[in-house]
Amino acid sequence: MPGFYLKAAWRNALRTPLHSALNLLGLSLGLATFILVALFTHEETNYYAHFANHADLYMIRMGSEIYGSKAVTTPEPADSVAQLKLDFPGIDGIARAADTQEEVVNGEQVISNQTVLIVDPSYIDVVGVPLLRGDPHSALSAPDSVAISETLARELFGTLDCLGRTFSLSDRETVRVTAIYREMVEVQDGARIMLSGAGENSVLSRMDKQDSAHVLPFTYIASYLLIRSPDVRARIEAGLADFAHRHYQFYIDGMKAYFVLMPLDAWRLQGKKYGDIDAHPLIRLLAVDAVGLLVLAVATLNYINLATALAGRRGVEMGVRKAIGASRRQIILHLLAESVALTCVATLLAIALAELVLPVFSTLMFVHLSVDYLHQPGLLLALAGFAVVFGLLAGAYPALVLSAGRPAESLRLGRQAEGRGLLRQAMVLLQYAVSIAMIVGAVVIYRQYHYAANDIDGVDNNLVYQVDDYGAGPNVFPARLLDLIGALPGVAMVGALGTGDDWYFHRPDQVIAGSAKIMNTPVGSRFFEAWGLKPQAGRLFDGDHTDTDMIVLNQSAVGAFGFASAEAALGQEIVAEMPDGSKPTRRLTVVGIVPDFMVETIYGRIPPRVFIVTPPSDYSLLMVKLTGRDVPGTVAAIKRAEREVSGHVVYHDGFMDALLNSRYLDMLRDAESIGGFSLLSIFVAALGLFSLAEFMAQRRTKEIGIRKAMGASSAQIAALLSRDLLMPAIVANLIAWPLAYFGATWWLSGFAYHTTVPLWLLPAASVLVLLVAGLAVLLQVMRVAWAKPATALRYE
């Protein structure tokens, strides 16, 4: 019997090969999207599942209270995890990883820009890194030992059996391979090298020797705690406030800091629950899921629509089948079996399609997705089950309609008696509404990304090379290093951000209590010039460090101090006090005003700032403005200077625009993926419309003949058909416009600084969709409308 159904389905498909192929393709595209989105969702919700101990791993995060609202945004003090382990017995282990960029040199072979994680010797064991070779307990105990990923092992040595082989990092350290681990994006940035941090001079060792007060919060060290016992966990959570007071009074005073123990698994998607305002991937995941489901919905509607249209032409066949004895149940079964057979083929096609685009999609979404159907029979089974259920659901409507016809009527009409196709129109309408809304969404996200990454920070990041200390404490940038860098021919100037005291600023006639907190921002004297900032009023600092009691305000600070205008603030006196009186009060004079510009992410507002010149000994971040001549050579020279002068201090280098853009990369990926999916949904909808146009024309061939006999011109017929086919696309705007507009506005309102939804975008998206739809129906309409009326009438 199944063979019979398959044969019938196959023959039926062959009757209209083009439309069967288009129908199949549309459905496969929808299903392929669904498979990709499902894989992505699975990956995101099981993000750290590759870490054997993921369920017992925790992070310590630091929050602070800024302008009355609590938020976990600040990286925790780098030594807090080690401190915690000392204070709370029962913690099973700690694992820290600092990252740096290195060149990998293996004889002639050089691989640059490799992220290297400098990790605790116990890292592999504590985290549960899946090893392919090597011993998890002892692999990284020697200072020169490295664990490398399987792909790097293949690249360097052509084999996984390379334990004991050596290579060097950035031309200086020779390291020995002691373990091979499975490739994972979950390890920071997909790092392919883990270097033992056991050495005396490693970042981790040096940090362990330092006093807490000198370890700055801004670190690049990711730390995990392994806590197996729930009791220990509860004890830590209860004791965190005391712990903070014991060791980090400094931060509590300065920024009302507090600590949060966050499960690693929660951090990825539920960080917001723990007050982490930078965590928004859950929304992102939901958006991708929603978009994926919408594409599937469009494809499904399309499929049902076409299946019903196709089925309508089989009225005679069904009439004959009934006349020779088939029951309604048998006809329904027959049609459902055909539908399931078709969706099974579509699913196979979809699996192939998904497999084909998986690498591109993985790169786009910055996840490592892979499917191994052979080793995941559950997945295959799920897909097969899905195909069957989907086939039953999608085939149900056409089967019920088609089987309901009375045989005599079907035979007489030569087709199924049918209504005016309102349901079909509604389905087409929905497809268009979804497509239009998705285009609007993608463009708005892209505009916001562009705005965030390029416009609102208000500074010229181009050619600004950033050299960050590692929270290594004062005097990290010796004068000699600054001189060396400043003297390079490719360097225009050196700006700097510094560390400084947490002053409270106010006007002489104001009191501290109740006044807004205005942030002290210590900078080098060439800070503004390096970022290409021009004063809005007054002047910038002069270059020779004489401006010790002069300050520059940003625009927000002008308002916060209550000055009427930027000009009014010039020459005014500002008082700086330490609330606890630990330092003598200073009296400062405003010499210039600069526009607001972004130092943090755009999820929060730009705070009012007082810029004050700080001596080079307090610099914590250099901003080296390059001239643009021989950029690679200059960067190499800066690195050489760092090594020469600073000994073992490790700097975190990179181009500012790249670093800033990377903050908004998620947004760009969202725009790209939603944009891609929306184009796909338009394409699928157009495929459907193309087929539908022909069915509609065929269904109305007689009517067209009559109308022509009654005097209708070809143009009038074309207009009539086009109107009926395109009307849903026009009415769809009524649904899509308000939905897209309010949805996009709501999404944008989540940003302190955002673009708007341009009104032209709505008609533009509609025009694009209409154009595609118009093209899809044009051919069919022309063919039918310009046919000789006698041909049309003879059809009957």
Partner 1 sequence: MLQLTGVSKLYRTSEIETGALREVSLSVGAGEFVAVMGPSGCGKSTLLNILGLLDSPSAGSYRLFGEEVASLPEQALTQLRRQAVGFVFQSFNLIDDLSVADNVEVALIYRGVSAGERRKRVAEALEQVGMGHRAKHRPGQLSGGQQQRVAIARALVARPKLILADEPTGNLDTGNGAAVMGMLLDAVAGGTAVVMVTHSEGHASMAARVVRMLDGRMVGETRVAA
481 CB-near residues (< 8 Å, 6+ apart): 641, 642, 645, 646
Applying CB under 8 A, the span of 42-50, 289-297, 611-619, 787-795 interacting with partner 1 comes to 787-795
**Shortest Cβ 692–partner 1 spacing (Å):** 17
**Shortest Cβ 405–partner 1 spacing (Å):** 14
Applying CB under 8 A, the span of 172-180, 348-356, 519-527, 707-715 interacting with partner 1 comes to 707-715
Distance CA 102, CA 88 (A): 36
**Shortest Cβ 709–partner 1 spacing (Å):** 5
Specify the amino acid at residue 192: R
Is 455 near partner 1 (CB under 8 A)?
no
**Separation in Å, CA 739 to CA 336, 678, 754:** 35, 15, 19
Nearer to partner 1, 225 or 785 (CB): 785
**Shortest Cβ 414–partner 1 spacing (Å):** 12
Distance CA 141, CA 207 (A): 18
CB 740 within 8 A of CB 440: yes
Applying CB under 8 A, the span of 44-52, 489-497, 532-540, 702-710 interacting with partner 1 comes to 702-710
**Shortest Cβ 720–partner 1 spacing (Å):** 11
**Shortest Cβ 776–partner 1 spacing (Å):** 23
Applying CB under 8 A, the span of 101-109, 482-490, 705-713, 733-741 interacting with partner 1 comes to 705-713
**Separation in Å, CA 635 to CA 60, 103, 463, 648, 656:** 35, 14, 11, 19, 13
Angle between helices 328-365 and 17-45 (to 10 degrees): 50
Is 573 near partner 1 (CB under 8 A)?
no
Residues 519-548 that bind partner 1 (CB under 8 A): none
Chosen residue from 132, 479, 709, 771 binding partner 1 by CB under 8 A: 709
Chosen residue from 646, 661, 714, 755 binding partner 1 by CB under 8 A: 714
The two beta strands, 173-181 and 145-149, are parallel
Chosen residue from 192, 206, 517, 708 binding partner 1 by CB under 8 A: 708
Is 786 near partner 1 (CB under 8 A)?
yes
Nearer to partner 1, 513 or 710 (CB): 710
Is 631 near partner 1 (CB under 8 A)?
no
Nearer to partner 1, 321 or 415 (CB): 415
Is 698 near partner 1 (CB under 8 A)?
no
**Shortest Cβ 313–partner 1 spacing (Å):** 16
Is 205 near partner 1 (CB under 8 A)?
no
Chosen residue from 241, 636, 779, 790 binding partner 1 by CB under 8 A: 790
Report DSSP letters for 518-573, one per residue.
-EEEEE-TTHHHHTT---SEE----TTS--TTEEEEEHHHHHHHT-SSHHHHTT-E
Distance CA 225, CA 221 (A): 13
- Cα-based angle 486, 488, 490 (whole degrees, multiple of 5): 110
Distance CA 368, CA 43 (A): 8
**Shortest Cβ 412–partner 1 spacing (Å):** 11
331 CB-near residues (< 8 Å, 6+ apart): 318, 321, 322, 399, 402, 403
Nearer to partner 1, 419 or 584 (CB): 419
Nearer to partner 1, 357 or 793 (CB): 793
Is 710 near partner 1 (CB under 8 A)?
yes
Is 796 near partner 1 (CB under 8 A)?
yes
Nearer to partner 1, 2 or 711 (CB): 711
Report DSSP letters for 147-204, one per residue.
EEEHHHHHHHHSSS--TT-EEEETTTEEEEEEEEE---STTGGG--EEEE--STTSHH
Query: Considering only CA atoms, which of 638, 624, 660, 618 is closest in space to residue 216?
Result: 618
Task: Kindly report the number of other CB atoms within 10 A of residue 251's CB atom.
Answer: 22
Torsion angles phi and psi, residue 632, rounded to 5: -60, -40
Nearer to partner 1, 623 or 717 (CB): 717
Query: Taking the CA of residue 192 as centre, how many other CA atoms within 13 Å lie in the half-sphere pointing to its CB?
Result: 16
Applying CB under 8 A, the span of 97-105, 127-135, 261-269, 697-705 interacting with partner 1 comes to 697-705
Angle between helices 328-365 and 665-699 (to 10 degrees): 150
**Shortest Cβ 334–partner 1 spacing (Å):** 28
Chosen residue from 25, 131, 333, 712 binding partner 1 by CB under 8 A: 712
CB 744 within 8 A of CB 444: yes
Copy the structure tokens of residue 772. Answer: 């595609």
**Shortest Cβ 693–partner 1 spacing (Å):** 17
Chosen residue from 705, 736, 737, 769 binding partner 1 by CB under 8 A: 705
Distance CA 34, CA 289 (A): 9
Nearer to partner 1, 272 or 702 (CB): 702
**Separation in Å, CA 298 to CA 33, 295, 671, 738:** 11, 5, 20, 20
Is 716 near partner 1 (CB under 8 A)?
yes
**Residue burial 121-150, b: 16+ Cβ < 10 Å; e: rest:** bbbbbbbbbebebbebeebbeebebbbbbe
Nearer to partner 1, 50 or 700 (CB): 700
Is 703 near partner 1 (CB under 8 A)?
yes
- Work out the widest C-alpha separation in the chain, in whole angstroms: 105
**Shortest Cβ 400–partner 1 spacing (Å):** 21
**Shortest Cβ 308–partner 1 spacing (Å):** 17
**Shortest Cβ 706–partner 1 spacing (Å):** 5
Nearer to partner 1, 18 or 709 (CB): 709
Query: Considering only CA atoms, which of 157, 160, 198 is closest in space to residue 180?
Result: 160
Distance CA 623, CA 617 (A): 15
Nearer to partner 1, 297 or 719 (CB): 719
**Shortest Cβ 377–partner 1 spacing (Å):** 52
Nearer to partner 1, 515 or 714 (CB): 714
Report DSSP letters for 379-440, one per residue.
HHHHHHHHHHHHHHHHHHHHHHHHHHS-HHHHHHHSS------HHHHHHHHHHHHHHHHHHH
Nearer to partner 1, 418 or 600 (CB): 418
**Shortest Cβ 428–partner 1 spacing (Å):** 18
Could you give the string, one character per residue 414-433, with x where binding to partner 1 holds by CB under 8 A and - elsewhere?
Answer: ------x-------------
Is 793 near partner 1 (CB under 8 A)?
yes
Is 280 near partner 1 (CB under 8 A)?
no
Is 713 near partner 1 (CB under 8 A)?
yes
Chosen residue from 163, 240, 367, 706 binding partner 1 by CB under 8 A: 706
**Shortest Cβ 410–partner 1 spacing (Å):** 14
Nearer to partner 1, 550 or 787 (CB): 787
Distance CA 103, CA 110 (A): 7
Is 702 near partner 1 (CB under 8 A)?
yes
Token pair 């040199």 in the structure block, residue:
105
Residue 781: helix, strand or coil by DSSP? helix
First to last CA, the chain: 35
Helices assigned H by DSSP within 313-406? 315-323, 328-365, 377-404
Nearer to partner 1, 315 or 524 (CB): 315
**Shortest Cβ 705–partner 1 spacing (Å):** 7
Is 707 near partner 1 (CB under 8 A)?
yes
Nearer to partner 1, 742 or 795 (CB): 795
Binding stretches for partner 1 (CB under 8 A): 420, 702-703, 705-714, 716, 786, 788-790, 793, 796
